[in-house]
Amino acid sequence: MGMPPNTLDLPVARQGCDAALDRIRAKVESGERLSIEDGLTLYETPDLWSVCEMADLVRRRMHADVAWYNVNRHLNYTNICALSCNFCAFARKRGDEGAYEHTIEDVRNEARSAAESGATEMHVVGGLHPWHSFDFYTEMLRAIREEAPSIHIKAFTAVEIVHLARISKRGRDGADGIRTVLTELREAGLGSLPGGGAEVFDDRVHDEAFKGKIRGDAWMDVHRIAHELGIHTNATMLYGHIEGREERVRHMEILRGQQDAALQDWADSEGIDTTQGVVLTGPDELYKGNRMPTVETCERGYYQTCIPLPFIPDDSDLEHLYGPSGLENLRTVAIGRLMLDNIPHMKAFWIMQTLPLSQLMLQMGGADDIDGTVVWYDITKVEGCGTHQETTVSDLHRTIREAGLRPMERDTLYRPVLRNGAEWTVDKAIQ
Ligand code: SF4
């Protein structure tokens, strides 16, 4: 017996499309910004495949067949933290089993090893250590800079920056202290900020899951000031714990609004119509110059990539929760790609999404980046794996190629990298 006839005269993959998505599809195709209601519809529709199809359309407009990865090294310099966020399985108090704090000499050795292995980036974050002085942090950056002059240092989440502004007693007020601390960290070697610690921008969720940590407005202040100083940053969203889907969509809208401000001058110079914000995801004819900002074309800092992070309950105070499913992870990355129309990159962070699911996100979920080789990562450990969480460049290549995409190594600022073993340079020819 053959296949039943396709009575709707549609491609088989489109059968079962949710009509509620038609209006959203029209917006995506024409490059119109999606609303919060659209974001909620994308979450509620049973037609996940159409959501992915739209995200993939946008992703291909922005990145064609390229999928980015990097050769990096994560360093968690301490897990001792003054706070005790409910969802956190990483933090320890001094004297607790498993508590650690690296010395400057440890950091120096790690930087040397990273440089020798050809890493282009060190990603440095840790707990809010109760006794380190501000000088420890500038000394740590200088040690990395001395041992690995060409490595980009991406370091300190916004909560760490606020902590450093407090302990350093810099500045006349909160904003001035943050500005001064960021300036001094940059002088010591800081290249950019990672996007951690954003969690979900909602006061109810904050008070239930990470009370004591900075609220969303303080997180945004750090990134706004960094952007004003020309420092690039990333943005995360930790989802799948006690927040709802609407809170996720609102989180995305807040990020999108801040990115509009960061990109306004660049968009004006490119002749991009900004009446509905700076939309980078539309069809080619909307863009007269560059579709996307680069570190060469945009003087201000901006969000380079969004990294949706699924909550992993193991060993946290919220261990009774399930955490998000694979399909919810795929849907969230795809919706992120569609809603965050002014953030150039969408990352499937393989450490938390797993490599197989990240591959699916690259192929059909709107992701264009899979992060890097990582090596050491202590913040979360999927399915009980240890701190050593490393993958190889050939594994990343295979993952990307099997998804039908072309692997492209990048540096932290998304410039293509030319590599010969451990030697590398930024490939200016194809920027
Ligand atoms: S999430 Fe960050 S601030 Fe909160 S306890 Fe963990 S390490 Fe500390």
Superfamily of structural domain 25-410: Aldolase class I (3.20.20.70)
- Average pLDDT of the residues in 97-121: 95
Whether pLDDT at 160 is above 50: yes
Lowest-pLDDT range of 122-131, 146-155, 367-376, 419-428: 367-376
The dihedrals phi and psi of 11, each to the nearest 5 degrees, come to -55, 140
What pLDDT score does 170 carry?
83
Mutating to test ligand 1, I would choose from 88, 92, 316 the residue with most ligand atoms within 8 A of its C-beta, which is 88
Our answer on whether the CB atom of 318 is closer than 6 Å to any ligand 1 atom is: no
Q: Of the given ranges (132-146, 178-192, 307-321), which has the lowest mean pLDDT? A: 307-321
Question: What's the pLDDT score for residue 387?
Answer: 57
CA of 155 to the centre of ligand 1 (A): 15
pLDDT of 78 strictly over 90:
yes
92-113 mean pLDDT: 95
Q: Does ligand 1 lie within 6 Å of residue 128's CB atom?
A: yes
Q: What is the mean pLDDT of the chain?
A: 91
Residue-level pLDDT at 334: 98
For residue 249, pLDDT over 90 is answered with yes
pLDDT at 293 over 60: yes
- Confidence category of residue 389, pLDDT binned at 50, 70, 90: low
Sequence letter at residue 309: L
What's the confidence (pLDDT) of residue 380? 57
For 334-360, the pLDDT digits (tens) are 999 999 999 999 999 998 999 999 999
User: Other C-beta atoms within 10 Å of 2: how many?
Assistant: 4
Return the structure tokens found at 150.
Answer: 């060409």
Domain layout of the chain by residue ranges: 25-410
pLDDT band of 319, cuts 50, 70, 90 = confident
With a 6 Å cutoff on the Cβ, whether 91 touches ligand 1 is: yes
pLDDT class of 6 with cuts at 50, 70, 90:
very low
- Report CA(159)–ligand 1 centroid distance (Å): 9
Band the pLDDT of 120: cuts 50, 70, 90: very high
**Looking at residue 5, what is its pLDDT?**
47
Query: Which mutation among 205, 210, 222 tests ligand 1's pocket best, with the greatest number of atoms within 8 A of CB?
Result: 210
Polymer length of the chain: 431
pLDDT over 80 (residue 375)? no
204 CA distance to ligand 1 centroid (A)? 18
Residue 133 has pLDDT above 70, yes or no: yes
What local confidence, expressed as pLDDT, does residue 212 receive? 82
Band (pLDDT 50/70/90 cuts) for residue 382 is: low
